Amino acid sequence: QAPRRAGLGRARSNLPARRPVVSWHMTGICAGRVVAITGAGRGLGRAHALAFAAAGAKVVVNDVGASLHGDGGDLSPAAEVVAEIVAQGGEAVVNGDDCSDWDGAGRLVAQAIEAFGGLDTLVCNAGIVRDRMLVNMSVDEWDAVMKVHLRGTFCPVRHAIDYWRGQHKAGTPRVARIVTTSSGAGLFGSVSQANYSAAKAGIATFTIVAAAELGRYGILANTIAPSARSRMTEEAFAEMMRAPTDGSFDRMDPANVSPLVVWLGSDACDITGRAFEIAGGELNVCDGWQHGIPIDKGDRYTPEELGAVVAELIGRAPAPAPVYGAG
């Protein structure tokens, strides 16, 4: 287990007393569970951390405090989330490790175990954007997005699996849950976001594979494709993400997504290997790639005959969902 880093212990709140904005139930759906959330200093991650704490969980709030594009570092956003949780009577600690770094991800898992005696749920939420049309995208912009999204999912999941498998073999299994964060861009594509779309598609497939491999240990894994206000979406879709000023339902409030994440991260969840789209109060399960109805010639095709065969196959298939921003 990693030693406690300076300044990363249990936070003491110095926030002024105020009326709670959420109801904190120590007997909630996640009562007693230990949850680690990456990228939890702002946006969706912050909303998830507050929602898990409100549901009774002990929360490790991970965030390096980088800019939207992955530069710099500032632990104060994560510390503010922890202080808010503590002020409401919950339990939380700050973790400032880079979840895309192998050793940093290990320290994140170790801190959950050290601070709260174990780990039950891992929520992989951290991400950055480097939006660019393909004709202008650099290899550095590609690699930076892949690192945070894909390595930043794999590394903490891999360390969590080691812990959970050890507990399972010792006869003290945890009711373990993994929740990853894909995107509509990953499921359907998004113009000027080839790197982000590819990374998010990779996360969705990674989660399906994790669910298939880890079920034997009682570990369930699901992914979400949320549509909500964040630093990423406010920059790319400013008008769509703007909060209403007339008192109507704020469809893009990130807190709308968190109840699903809390349920998926609870021991009440009995679903694995699925992708859920959620926007405001609208929820659906995505089908993903499916095998189409085949045409089997029973022999090798010639290039000349394939045009007619493909046309028939396309005619049988449903139209694909449009790429965001296309046309």
Q: How many helices (H) and strands (E) does the chain have?
A: 11, 8
Give, in order, the Cα–Cα distances in Å from 321 to each of 186, 190, 202, 216, 224.
12, 11, 18, 34, 17
Could you tell me which residues come within 8 angstroms of residue 128 by beta carbon, excluding any fewer than 6 positions away?
66, 68, 69, 70, 144, 145, 148, 149, 232
Catalytic residue among 163, 192, 200, 266: 200
Residue among 58, 100, 163, 183 flagged as catalytic: 183
Looking only at Cα atoms, what is the longest distance across the chain? 76
Q: What is the distance between the alpha carbons of residues 256 and 252, in angstroms, rounded to a whole number?
A: 7
Tell me which of 100, 192, 196, 227 is the catalytic residue. Answer: 196
Sheet holding 275-279, edge to edge: 91-95, 58-62, 34-37, 121-124, 177-181, 220-227, 275-279, 282-286
Please tell me the distance from the alpha carbon of residue 109 to that of residue 126, in angstroms, as a whole number.
Answer: 15
Give the bridge partners for 61, in sequence order. Answer: 37, 94
Find out whether 134 and 97 touch, Cβ atoms under 8 Å.
no
Question: Any catalytic annotation for residue 297?
Answer: no
Look up tokens 């590609």; give the residue. 142
269 vs 41: CA distance, rounded Å:
25
- Identify whether 196 is a catalytic site residue: yes
Q: Which residues are catalytic?
A: 183, 196, 200
